[in-house]
Amino acid sequence: LAVGVPMYMAHAHGLRASETFLLLLLEVGAIVLSITLALVVMALLGLCVSPMWLAAPLLAMGYGLDDMFVLLSAFSEARSHAIGRPNLLEHITLSFESAGISCLCTSLTSF
């Protein structure tokens, strides 16, 4: 959420392609940082890191990026169908109403 909400706010102001690419880099960076932090915590706790754990970051990045693109698409669709000028909270609510189930199913089937 710490990365997602600012991304939606920036996307609401109509971004150019270079800015969209920057958002993609921010999302990938957030995923890489969270995975690195998780591995550091595991090492500090003395937990064993197996080859399966090393494959998990790639899967998590794929699911995270897929959900990001689905939500951004739903957000821009909600913006185009908006009547008047609804606020950011209404845009986010509409986008999660239309894409939330898709993201939930992706997350549930990844286990």
Return the pLDDT at 45: 92
The model carries a pTM of: 0.55
How buried is 95 (Cβ within 10 angstroms: 0-12 exposed, 13-18 middle, 19+ buried)?
Answer: buried
2: three-class secondary structure by DSSP: coil
- Give the model's pLDDT for residue 25: 76
**Which alpha helices (H) appear in 1-111, and where do they start and end?**
4-12, 17-45, 51-80, 88-109
Which amino acid type is present at position 68? M
> Within 10 Å of residue 91's Cβ, how many Cβ atoms?
20
Residue matched to tokens 């509409």: 94
Q: What is the pLDDT of residue 106?
A: 80
Structure tokens at 9: 């706010």
- The list of the chain residues with pLDDT below 70 reads 1-21, 82, 85-86, 110-111
Token pair 């197996």: residue: 50
Measured CA to CA, the distance from residue 98 to residue 105 in angstroms comes to 13
Kindly report, residue by residue over 55-85, the tens digit of the pLDDT: 877 777 777 777 877 887 887 787 777 677 6
- In the prediction, which pLDDT does 19 show? 61
